[in-house]
Amino acid sequence: MSYWDWLPLELQEYVLRLRDGQALIDRRESQASCALCDEIRQYGRLRERWQIGFIQVKPKLRFKRTCLTKERGLKQVEYGSIFIFGHYRDRRGRRQRAFLDFSYHAAIAHCDWTRSLLTY
């Protein structure tokens, strides 16, 4: 007879629920880390393709009204999509930026075409 069999049924069920919950947390964390690694990889591909400056990724912000007593007015909240800009210097040495797209895949596809239109 093992120690597991000596435990009351309530404790056995509690331990099994804890195990299932931990497995779910581990799965979500691994999916989040895979998504982060994929985003870093896509950023690296875009950076290699652009080659004439740095890349700026900005979250699309929307304004939300707050009606709390301490916080009144407008508050910026992140929205789902992003803006991707490519920065470069023109012939006079001034900093310029070009809008690439709303996603990494589309920005990588449009990168060469956007770069060919620039006069740098």
**pLDDT recorded at residue 60:** 76
**Average pLDDT in the 64-68 region?**
61
Higher-confidence position of 81 and 71:
81
Domain count, the chain: 1
Determine contact, residues 44/106, Cβ cutoff 8 Å: no
**pLDDT recorded at residue 90:** 86
Order of all β-strands in the sheet with 55-67: 55-67, 72-89, 95-101
Question: 44-47: long-range contacts (C-beta < 8 A, 24 or more apart)?
Answer: 45/104, 45/108, 46/84, 46/100, 46/104, 46/107, 46/108, 46/111
Q: For residues 72 and 46, what is the distance between their CA atoms, to the nearest angstrom?
A: 40
**pLDDT recorded at residue 66:** 61
**Average pLDDT in the 75-103 region?**
83
- Domain extent at residue 76: 3-117
23-61 pLDDT per residue, tens: 999 999 999 999 999 989 999 999 999 988 889 998 877
Q: Could you tell me the pTM of the whole model?
A: 0.65
**Average pLDDT in the 7-32 region?**
95
Higher-confidence position of 116 and 62:
116
